[in-house]
Amino acid sequence: MVDIGEAAPDFTVPKAGGDAYNDVEEFTFGDVVGDGPTVLAFYPAAFTSGCTAEMCALRDSMGLFDDLDAQVYGVSVDLPFSQNVWIREENLNFPMLSDWDHEVIRKYDVVLDDMYGMIEVAERSVFVVDTDGVVTYRWVRKGDNPDFDELVTETRDAVEDAL
């Protein structure tokens, strides 16, 4: 697993912006890492209750991240078209990255290989990356879903520490 103090792996994936079903463009992490601290919030699957609660907690706290010039991205193995629908349904105010070929979850070693005992998805996890491309914070779910408001606060504090 990528650890604190290590370089964050670069990747290129489709980015769902949410403006329309087909609002999809290529996204390369290395192109934005110098623009400010970055939060990569990995989640198992769009439209599920825990993932919706997590992403909505981030949505409701985006002002805290905006104040720090931080970028926030959700990351899952969902196709970008379904991510766009989910963004619109939940009024999410940050883009989703589609790791449809599972390359990113393998690079970050956050593979949950038995969702419902049959499919491979992203393990719920959060990484904060500073402007040098170094991981400064890592959180991976252990057990039940956390208090997402507390997780957002902890993530926001990690972003501030990365400045």
Q: What share of the chain is helix, strand, coil (3-state, %, to 5)?
A: 35, 30, 40
Q: Is 56 in the active site?
A: no
What single-letter amino acid sits at 28?
A: T
Task: Measure the CA–CA gap between 36 and 146, rounded to whole angstroms.
Answer: 26
What crossing angle do the helices spanning 148-162 and 49-60 adopt, rounded to 10°? 50
What single-letter amino acid sits at 16?
A: A
**Residue in 51, 72, 85, 110 annotated catalytic:** 51
Q: Go through the chain and tell me how many residues it has.
A: 163
Task: Measure the CA–CA gap between 55 and 102, rounded to whole angstroms.
Answer: 20
Active site residues: 51
